[in-house]
């Protein structure tokens, strides 16, 4: 259900490379959540770096929403870069697995499979 790779890159370098890979594959970064920074600002001590990138391809999003508007709650796709036991990891929940839990539509499965394949390429390129 998850796709996670380990990289020797720093969080900063992996973040820069992920943003480039997203653009290279005709997706866009809508927002980056810096979990460590947000929690620390709220007075919660948290030491691990964790950045969650909301990414989207507008054409694929339209396909999903045209088929089932309620799936807006599963969009946009998220790719995370985080520290885990001293290692930098890049990962996501596979869109095909997420969608399978929400819909049995064959046309939506096709879109999820396409987005998943591209997302894996994005992660691998950033690795």
Residue numbers of the domain that contains 85: 2-126
The number of domains in the chain is 1
pLDDT in tens, 9-26: 999 999 999 999 999 999
* Inter-residue contact 127 to 121 (CB < 8 Å): no
What is the per-residue pLDDT for 81? 98
The side-by-side arrangement of strands in the sheet containing 77-84 is: 2-7, 87-93, 77-84, 50-56, 28-34
CATH number for position 58: 3.30.310.70
pTM of the shown model: 0.93
């Amino acid at each position: 259900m998850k796709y996670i790779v380990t990289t020797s890159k720093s969080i900063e370098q992996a973040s820069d490379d992920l943003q480039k890979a997203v653009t290279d594959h005709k997706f866009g970064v809508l927002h980056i959540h810096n979990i460590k920074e947000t929690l620390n600002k709220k007075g919660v001590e948290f030491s691990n770096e964790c950045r969650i990138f909301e990414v989207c391809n507008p054409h694929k999003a339209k396909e999903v929403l045209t088929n089932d508007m309620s799936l807006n709650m599963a969009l946009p796709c998220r790719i995370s870069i985080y520290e885990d036991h001293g290692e930098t990891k890049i990962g996501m929940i596979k869109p095909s697995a997420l969608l399978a839990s929400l819909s049995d539509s064959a046309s939506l499965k096709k879109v999820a499979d396409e987005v998943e394949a591209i997302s894996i390429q994005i992660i691998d390129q950033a690795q």
